Amino acid sequence: MKVLDVRSNTFESDFEVLLMRGKMDMKEVSFIVQGLLDEIIQNGLEAIKSHIARFDSWEARHFQDICITPQECLKAYNDLSPQLKSALHLAYDRIYAFHQKQKVKSWIDCEENGNILGSKAIPMERAGLYIPGGKAAYPSSLLMNAIPAIVAGVKEIVVCSPTPHNEPNPLLLAALHLCQITEVYKVGGASAIGLMAYGCKEVKKTDVITGPGNIFVACAKKLVFGDVNIDMVAGPSEIAIIADSQANPLYIAYDLLSQAEHDEMASSILISDNAKLIESVKKHIAEILPTMPRAKIAQASIENRAVMIHTRNIKESIEITNTIAPEHLEILTKSPFDVLPYIKHAGAIFLGEYSSEPIGDYLAGPNHTLPTGGSARFFSPLGVEHFIKRSSIISFSSNALAEVGEACALLAQCESLSAHAQAVLTRLENVKNKKG
């Protein structure tokens, strides 16, 4: 595991490499992805079926073959153990309660002169959720994407998730039943994004697509943006941990490995001003890693994408963290809430040693679909607002027009837009004549 020391002459160049972690080279895959999207636009379901055979190793002969029925989801839900069913409901309830607080409200403001101005919040009519299912299945991602859509009031929710060898994940099916989602397709990767963005004879297009995925999914979302809205273009998962001498090195080791086991491209970053802590964390990782079921994946991530940064003090740790703008940030210091005001860029912030990042992945409540690769500088976590659009409301009275009409016309004339100016002046003249 690489250790960077801010005192080193090579730190700046080494740190620049770390900052490039989110630069997925979409140039290499964009041609392939655009080809897949074009096939869906031109050939619809036939293209989807060919993509399933090509990428998921099974043959779909009919439209019904790619559908997951409500009956399948109900059976999977009924087959859950009581403990797992309880855990799923606990996660659902906590996530729902958090997102309920994000509800966007319409508002209207009536001014004294008769003006009525406002904003009308309107749920998207149809939302598409992409749930990964390649190296692992993620029922938690379904809850995190579906619940804000449900809270927003979206009427139609469609889910796409890959099913290699035509073997759906039972827990995902159970979660679909819990969320009462009945339109589900066994389609993955860029093909799923294309299906939700453009539709086909059998499937209506959506208005917004959310959910994480690999580079092909990210590239597809970027290419369809504009034809449909998206949440963000997210890359591999990542965690940064600010720690001081008070932090527990075993906790840190497990939290870093919790990201490394996602996939080979995940990034695990420790930032500390304590050299002993860094060495202790390295030792724990070396001991734990070989025992993990996904050791091969975690090993590749730790060797190629993990970094420990030795700083001079906590202030420098904070500055470096803000430059990284991590997806997940844990603050494991003596007084984590004293550090919080200085954090400017992070997708989700976990404070204190009992706030492990996996708690946020499953049931803390806030969304785990987060900006990655430094995009936390300008993107926010997935939320209810991603499933709502707003329309402005404008109603001017004659008195209001009399007050501001000439100024409006003058601004239009300055831009050489005469019809704009006359549209106002004609009305203004009529108002003056009525008053006269």
> Minimal CA–CA distance to 372: which of 163, 188, 219, 212?
212
262 is in an annotated binding site: yes
One CATH from 3.20.20.30, 3.40.50.300, 3.40.50.1980, 3.20.20.210 for 2-24+235-364:
3.40.50.1980
d(CA 257, CA 245): 20
For 288-384, strand residue ranges (E) read 307-310, 328-332, 348-351
Among residues 99, 177, 284, 327, which one is catalytic?
327
Q: pLDDT (tens digit, 9 = 90+) per residue, 91-113? A: 999 999 999 999 999 999 998 88
Instruction: Give me 356's structure tokens.
Output: 């492990």
Known binding residue 237? Answer is yes
Q: Which CATH class is domain 26-234+384-389?
A: alpha beta
User: Using CA atoms, how far apart are residues 185 and 195, in angstroms rounded to an integer?
Assistant: 10
Is residue 327 flagged as an active site residue? Answer: yes
Q: Which among 177, 284, 310, 328 is annotated as catalytic? A: 328
E-only strand ranges, 273-387? 307-310, 328-332, 348-351
User: Quick check: helix, strand or coil at residue 366?
Assistant: coil
Radius of gyration from C-alpha coordinates of the chain: 26
Contact partners, residue 305, CB within 8 Å, separation at least 6: 21, 236, 260, 264, 265, 266, 267, 268
Query: Are the C-beta atoms of residues 302 and 353 closer than 8 Å to each other?
Result: no
Would you put residue 396 in left (φ > 0), alpha (ψ -120 to 50) or beta? beta
Residue 361 is labelled as binding a ligand: yes
> Which among 68, 1, 82, 5 is positioned nearest to 280, based on CA atoms?
1
Q: List pLDDT tens digits, range 163-216.
A: 999 999 999 999 999 999 999 999 999 999 999 999 999 999 999 999 999 999
- How far CA 327 is from CA of 261, 371, 418, in Å, comes to 16, 6, 50
* Interacting residues of 28 by C-beta distance below 8 A, sequence separation 6+: none
Provide the pLDDT for residue 134.
66
368 annotated to a ligand binding site: no
The secondary structure of residue 59, as a DSSP letter, is -
266 DSSP 8-state letter: -
User: 29 vs 73, 113, 263, 319, 392, CA distance in Å?
Assistant: 34, 57, 19, 34, 39
Report helix, strand and coil shares of the chain as percent, to nearest 5: 50, 15, 30
- 50 is an annotated ligand-binding site residue: no
3-state secondary structure of 114: coil
Opening angle at CA 404, ends 399 and 409, nearest 5: 125
Distance CA 331, CA 163 (A): 37
Asked if residue 89 belongs to a known ligand binding site, the reply is no
250-256-257 Cα angle (round to 5):
90
Ordered strands of the 348-351 beta sheet: 2-5, 307-310, 267-272, 238-243, 328-332, 348-351
Q: Catalytic annotation on 328?
A: yes
| Overall pTM surpassing 0.75 (yes/no) | yes
Q: Where in the chain are all domains bearing CATH 3.40.50.1980?
A: 2-24+235-364, 26-234+384-389
Q: What is the mean pLDDT of the chain?
A: 96
Tens digit of each residue's pLDDT, the chain (436 residues):
899 999 999 999 999 999 988 777 788 899 999 999 999 999 999 999 999 999 999 999 999 999 999 999 999 999 999 999 999 999 999 999 999 999 999 999 998 888 999 999 999 999 999 999 866 678 999 999 999 999 999 999 999 999 999 999 999 999 999 999 999 999 999 999 999 999 999 999 999 999 999 999 999 999 999 999 999 998 899 999 999 999 999 999 999 999 999 989 999 999 999 999 999 999 999 999 999 999 999 999 999 999 999 999 999 999 999 999 999 999 999 999 999 999 999 999 999 999 999 999 999 999 999 999 999 999 999 999 999 999 999 999 999 999 999 999 999 999 999 999 999 999 999 988 887 6
- Cβ(190)–Cβ(221) below 8 Å: no
93 is in an annotated binding site: no
